[in-house]
Amino acid sequence: MTRPSDEAAPSGPLPRFAVVGHPNKGKSSLVATLARDASVAIAPHPGTTLVAREYPFRIDGVPLYVLIDTPGFQRARAVLAALESRARETNASAADRPRLVAEFLAMPGQRERFPDECELLGPIVAGAGIVYVVDGSVAYGPQYEAEMEILRWTGRPSLAVINPISSRDHVTEWEAALGQFFRIVRVVDAVNADLQAQSRLLKAFAELEAGWRAPIEAALAALERARVGRRIQTARAIAEWIAQALVYDVERRIAPDESAELHREALAAEYHASLARSERAARERVQAIHGHAALEARADELALLEADLFAEGTWLVFGLTRRQLVSAGAAGGAATGGVIDLAVGGASLLLGVATGAVVGGVLGFLGAQRLPELTLVDRPLGGRLVRYGPARSPGFPFVLLGRARLHARLLSRRTHARRDPVEVEAVPAAALPLDAVFRKRLERDFARLRAADDAALARAEATQALADTLQALLAADDSESAEAT
């Protein structure tokens, strides 16, 4: 196990928490969420975790505490019976129980007889705190008592987490039962807990042992700093992408007598494909900022789906679900104009579904007359160019921003326990409001970027101005989502 070598790390041994319980109750999910580690093995079937494994929670490479993922109890009753008979034989008192558990684990042959119990009890006997995870959607039963009793015998500080996997139906019952074994009982959704819920749980961890308070408080502070850092980086990534897209064009040299029109189709295709690629790259950057770099493979599948939708002439319009789109064909041309006006006015944001392939669709629903123009450029030193772009529609950057903002919001809320693809579902316009102040500020930022065009310094400043606006907007989105939970 790596120990902090950095000066910023708290001194003394790191707090360690063994996450234990019955198989398939979300132990690994809780570890992945708290450690912000998407590499933790999670699967729908029991017996996924077979060995105890440490996941240090690190900020800037410095470990602040350690979570230990463990296999579920398999033979709790047999282990408890063995411990009890040993206690009777040796006339042991309650004070002897922690030692009896340690001796039990050390006895030859135990790893073969009780591999799971040895794995999960090992770290506890070695000094870890106990986090006992149960599923609040299934009924409490006495079979759990042997597990809790064994944990009590270790004498280690402990708390219980009720994870409501599919409902909260049995939470009250569990609270009554767990309250007899654990001083602290919390209800936490292991897969969907937001940062506030995670922080509350960490505060409970800090109460388990006096020496753990300071390091956990340091972890909490680091967590908040990291969140702000992610927001700054995300705003910057989106600003750079929009700055690039706003002035993007494609050019081709043509012969003096050639018609520019002949090149329209090829240039438009190149323009759309390139913009789609750069949107994809921007999304990957935002995903990496959130520690979700591995999501890209799954986004590919989505891209295919959307490319098909686009090929059929369907537009993914904000406010319509994918199913509605598929069944209804597409939003009609007339309706589209109306939606665009709303988007430009800021009353509603026009959003496609995730991934870059839809950029073509986005341009599509900006209306034909709003597509980038084809221009003929006579060059001073001779020769002619035909140019496609940049997109001058005032709605264009708002569409790009709306999509990026929704994507960023999904990522900032996404825990590392989730294994489903990112689905930028159609969200009601009201979910991503853009008030008049932000809209005006953004209009100014976009105008500045368009005016700056090739002037490097002006461009850099305008990009930073947009990043500052976006950071404030993302902060507002974050606090709004925190209030909603």
Piece in contact with ligand GTP (CB under 6 A), picked from 188-196, 340-348, 432-440, 475-483:
188-196
Query: Does 29 engage in binding with ligand GTP (CB under 6 A)?
Result: yes
Q: How far apart are CA 277 and CA 239, in angstroms?
A: 16
The neighbouring-strand residues paired with 54 are 68
Piece in contact with ligand GTP (CB under 6 A), picked from 26-34, 85-93, 302-310, 355-363:
26-34
Query: Does 24 engage in binding with Mg ion (CB under 5 A)?
Result: no
- Cβ proximity to ligand GTP, 33 vs 355, nearer residue: 33
Piece in contact with ligand GTP (CB under 6 A), picked from 22-30, 99-107, 140-148, 242-250:
22-30
Query: Does 44 engage in binding with ligand GTP (CB under 6 A)?
Result: yes
**CB-based closest residue to ligand GTP:** 26
Least distance CB 83 / Mg ion (angstroms): 24
Tell me the three state secondary structure of residue 424: coil
Q: How far apart are CA 17 and CA 64, in angstroms?
A: 12
Tell me the three state secondary structure of residue 333: helix
Piece in contact with Mg ion (CB under 5 A), picked from 22-30, 75-83, 194-202, 334-342:
22-30
Q: Contact at 8 Å (CB) between 425 and 407?
A: no
Least distance CB 30 / ligand GTP (angstroms): 7
Q: Contact at 8 Å (CB) between 63 and 49?
A: no
Q: Which of 37, 147, 189, 478 binds ligand GTP (CB under 6 A)?
A: 189
The neighbouring-strand residues paired with 479 are none
Q: Which of 10, 14, 17, 25 binds ligand GTP (CB under 6 A)?
A: 25
43 binds, among Mg ion, ligand GTP, none (CB under 5 to 8 A by kind): ligand GTP
By CB under 6 A, the residues from 61 to 100 that bind ligand GTP are: 71-72
Q: How far is CA 236 from CA 82, 330, 356, in A?
A: 60, 34, 18
Least distance CB 416 / Mg ion (angstroms): 14
What would the two tokens of residue 21 be? 């319980």
Closest CA relative to residue 37, chosen from 67, 64, 14, 9: 67
Give per-residue burial for 12-26: e unless 16+ CB within 10 Å, then b.
eebbbbbbbbbebbb
Q: How far is CA 266 from CA 246, 283, 369, in A?
A: 20, 26, 18
Size of the site for Mg ion (CB under 5 A): 4
By CB under 5 A, the residues from 35 to 54 that bind Mg ion are: 48-49
Piece in contact with ligand GTP (CB under 6 A), picked from 41-49, 211-219, 316-324, 445-453:
41-49
Query: Does 163 engage in binding with ligand GTP (CB under 6 A)?
Result: yes
- Cβ proximity to Mg ion, 49 vs 234, nearer residue: 49
CA angle 390, 343, 301 (to 5 degrees): 75
β-pairing verdict for 16-21 and 185-187: unpaired
Least distance CB 81 / ligand GTP (angstroms): 22
Query: Does 190 engage in binding with ligand GTP (CB under 6 A)?
Result: yes
Query: Does 28 engage in binding with ligand GTP (CB under 6 A)?
Result: yes
Q: How far is CA 307 from CA 107, 145, 165, 355, 357, in A?
A: 62, 54, 35, 10, 6
Q: How far apart are CA 365 and CA 407, in angstroms?
A: 20
Q: How far apart are CA 189 and CA 178, in angstroms?
A: 17
Q: How far is CA 168 from CA 24, 104, 141, 178, in A?
A: 17, 37, 16, 15
Query: Does 165 engage in binding with ligand GTP (CB under 6 A)?
Result: yes
Piece in contact with ligand GTP (CB under 6 A), picked from 44-52, 119-127, 178-186, 324-332:
44-52
Q: How far apart are CA 279 and CA 287, in angstroms?
A: 12
Q: Which of 1, 12, 13, 46 binds ligand GTP (CB under 6 A)?
A: 46
Query: Does 423 engage in binding with ligand GTP (CB under 6 A)?
Result: no
Q: Which of 9, 28, 148, 412 binds Mg ion (CB under 5 A)?
A: 28
Q: Contact at 8 Å (CB) between 130 and 155?
A: no
Least distance CB 188 / ligand GTP (angstroms): 8
- Cβ proximity to Mg ion, 28 vs 163, nearer residue: 28
C-alpha R_g of the chain: 28
- Cβ proximity to ligand GTP, 44 vs 428, nearer residue: 44
- Cβ proximity to ligand GTP, 62 vs 134, nearer residue: 134
Tell me the three state secondary structure of residue 426: coil
- Cβ proximity to ligand GTP, 37 vs 306, nearer residue: 37
Tell me the three state secondary structure of residue 56: strand
Q: Contact at 8 Å (CB) between 194 and 413?
A: yes
Q: How far apart are CA 83 and CA 49, in angstroms?
A: 25
Least distance CB 68 / ligand GTP (angstroms): 12
Piece in contact with ligand GTP (CB under 6 A), picked from 51-59, 172-180, 184-192, 314-322:
184-192
Least distance CB 44 / Mg ion (angstroms): 11
Q: Which residues bind ligand GTP (CB under 6 A)?
A: 23-29, 42-44, 46-49, 71-72, 163, 165, 189-191
Q: Which residues bind Mg ion (CB under 5 A)?
A: 27-28, 48-49
